[in-house]
A and B are shown apart, each in its own frame.
Chain A
Amino acid sequence: MPLLEVNHLHVKLRTHRGPAYAVRDVSFSLERGETLGLVGESGCGKSITAMSLMGLLPENAEVTGSIRFNGEELTTKSDAAMCDIRGNRIGMIFQEPMTALNPVHSIGRQVAEPLRLHRGLSADDARKEAIALLDRVGIPDAARRIDAFPHQFSGGQRQRITIAMALACGPDLLIADEPTTALDVTVQRQILDLISELVAERGMALILISHDLGVIAQNVARMLVMYGGSVVESGPTDAVFEHRMHPYTWGLFAARPGLKSRKGQRLATIAGTVPELVDLPAGCPFAGRCKFTVPECHATPPPPVEFEPGHQARCIRLDAVAAAKREGVAA
């Protein structure tokens, strides 16, 4: 039995402009110790997917489909029951460490909080455990700094503290939502290394959410490319990077400036802008921005097409895309 099994997940947000289909028919599964990346641009539904796993969706959200975690259905659980899982069996690391930490509590108290709440440790034991955790995530002189406050740490150190909080109860699944976007590249590397190390050391499963293809390439074994609320391509990271089957994946790769591109070279762009979730087209979300669009693309959401085992793309024009790629046409 996989650790996490998401089947036909739909999330509808009621907004004043009408319903927004933030997640449309997302399915994936995750084994213990496996790493999965979610990549996409802002508004593609990657954070909403993560929030639905945590049961932290806004009030105006409606979830259909199923999320099974350790064999238990999460979508029908009460708030109280979710509180037992959240922070205990599923840990989460957020993008902005300064807002994820409470500025008026010492870091020791914040790291100890899940230990006292979920594992019922005494204040003394929780403090000892918190020092060990802070030490493990690389806070220098943890025993002395445990009573310091978040503002006394640098951005990278703060993110280490939120990692210690997420790890406190030894979760089965760690969700990291853009954990390094607010950090410098050199610090980003250290934090990503730390997360990888901990995932391997504790046998946790990892869902890493990022808009940065480089971060995904280096840290996860499998990936989902999301666009307009649906998964447009999914598969092993190496295979997705090699084949870039879906025209959106292809365009996303081509649009990135690289350290190897020559100066003065123009970047390939994707025409138009990311659609708003409220006015998503009925058919393929990428239809219209995609230069392979045919009238059928607008009709119904395309079904997943398997390219090789475990590597799928939702596109009805894959043959045309592959042909264009062979001829070396730009996306």
Chain B
Amino acid sequence: MSADRPPEGARTAARSAEVSVSAAPLLQVENLVREYAMPREKLFAPPPKVHALNGVSFTIEAGRSMGIVGESGSGKSTLARLVMALDKPTAGSVKLLGRDLHTLPAEELRQARRDIQMVFQDPYGSLDPRQSIERIVTEPLAAQGDTSREERHQRAVDTLASVGLRANDLGKYPHEFSGGQRQRIAIARALITRPRLIVADEPVSALDVSVQAQVLNLMQDLQAEFGITYMLISHDLAVVHHLCDDVAVLWQGRIVEQGPPERLFTAAEHPYTQALLEAVPQAEPARRTRAARAEQIPLATSGQSRG
């Protein structure tokens, strides 16, 4: 790792204002509710609503990782958008180091954003094909607006090194990289503001198995090195098990079960968690069984089809 990165002490000193409140957990989500209005069905009746999130609460302590699992339509991505302050909740709060992101004035929110970064699922869609890697990676710093061009260049070189890419990659464009390398670039873009929390929405599901392992190892190394906290959204229980200290199972906008993966994946209590575990294909022929079925569980997606 680069030696010219400011020592940890300098970083914390610069954040002394926050340290006073950092007895609070890194991320505290309380009773989060998000409703979306559907198209009006009757002229004079109020439009029907979908409860994407229905009272979700959890906390993540600094340096630990929380996995959010659930199927499509369970509210995982809505939760990510609310934690990233990209969307306003209908009710409830998201507190980062004790400050409620959704009540902060615009300028303070912009400053607070340096602590939260996001890595998206598709490394092909999340990098602008017409921007150089340097511009992509330094964009979060430029948006913060308190660094010079030279500083940003230096930070980009350092950050790229920490994800295993070279400084001469900065002048290249996304199409010159493979899927795994692109995801490293996306991770570098998230790391450059030295965030406390990285929200990763299905970071490896678009990657091949052999490349997926490289990215998961990288995420683990970065956590050990910089003490980053992850909120990992995934439908892949094995990935969550590998990376997370704590797992929350989201089902129809609610957390139905939560706990450390060792316990949750061996002694699941909620029928949905059990169904989810049972459905994971096992790559061990000895465990190949086509017996136990769990089709009775109503799935979040099947309820939404109309007609």
Contact = CB atoms under 8 A, between A and B. Distances in A.
Interface string B210-222: 1111101100100
Interface stretch (B83-91, B132-140, B154-162, B282-290): B282-290
B244 interface: yes
B210 A274 contact: yes
A145 interface: yes
Contact of B279 (A148, A152, A185, A257): A185
Given A42-B208, A211-B209, A259-B237, A186 B285 contact: no
B244 A263 contact: yes
Interface string A227-259: 000000000011001100000000111011111
Interface stretch (B1-9, B12-20, B102-110, B292-300): B292-300
Nearest to B265: A259
Contacts of B202: none
A269 B241 contact: no
A10 B285 CA distance: 31
A193 B242 CA distance: 27
A152 to B, nearest CB: 4
Interface in B246-292: 261-262, 265, 275-285, 288, 290
Contacts of A190: 295
Contact of B283 (A148, A152, A253, A273): A253
**B244, B262, B307: residue with the most chain A Cβ atoms closer than 10 Å:** B307
**Interface-centre pick from B277, B282, B293, B305 (highest chain A CB count, 10 A):** B305
Interface size on A, as a range, is: 35 or more
B72 interface: yes
B147 interface: no
A215 B281 contact: yes
Given A155-B301, A214-B280, A261-B242, A241 B235 contact: no
B71 interface: yes
Nearest to B210: A270
A137 B284 CA distance: 28
B154 to A, nearest CB: 28
B238 interface: yes
A153 B305 contact: yes
Nearest to A217: B283
A261 B217 CA distance: 13
A152 B290 contact: no
Contacts of B168: none
B180 A273 contact: yes
Nearest to B278: A189
B217 A267 contact: yes
B301 A154 contact: yes
A238 B288 CA distance: 10
Contacts of A156: 299, 301-302
Contacts of A255: 209-210, 212-213
A258 B280 CA distance: 10
Interface in A177-215: 184-190, 192-193, 196, 211-215
Q: Kindly list the 5 A-B residue pairs having the minimum CB-CB distance in the complex, ordered from nearest.
A: A214-B281, A184-B71, A152-B307, A257-B242, A41-B208
Given A153-B305, A185-B279, A238-B285, 11 more contacts: A41-B208, A152-B305, A185-B280, A193-B293, A211-B208, A214-B282, A217-B285, A256-B209, A259-B277, A263-B244, A269-B214
12 contacts: A41-B211, A185-B280, A187-B71, A214-B282, A215-B281, A255-B210, A256-B238, A257-B216, A257-B239, A261-B242, A265-B242, A269-B214
